[in-house]
Amino acid sequence: MSKLIALTLLTKPGCHLCEEAKTVVDSAINKFKSEHSSENPIELTEVNILEDQALLDEYGEEIPVLQINGATHAYWKIDSERLIAALNELV
């Protein structure tokens, strides 16, 4: 049985880097799934940091932030190949 990979993308409205990051993350997930079929489930949650003061205080200047299983993977610019490599390490 495979373990769920939880991705969290911290964003805020009007953030053009956040929109780019969402596109990159979606593309990387699709590529990863095509290589690993459905045996490795991935859950992507997008969180608006403006709705959580603690997240805003911690990440306000770094968004978008991508976390993998709760650990920060990247911020500002998300690199697709680096993300896929990190996901591959989890399987």
Domain residue spans of the chain: 5-89
Q: Is the pLDDT of residue 55 over 60?
A: yes
Give the count of alpha carbons within 13 A of 7, CB side only. Answer: 26
Sheet arrangement for strand 42-48? 42-48, 5-11, 65-68, 71-75
Residue appearing with tokens 């990051």: 21
Instruction: Output the CATH code of domain 5-89.
Output: 3.40.30.10
49 vs 1, 58, 60, 61, CA distance in Å?
33, 9, 7, 11
The pair of three-digit structure tokens given for residue 42, joined into one six-digit string: 């991935």
Per residue in 6-52, pLDDT tens? 999 999 999 999 999 999 999 999 999 998 866 779 999 999 999 99
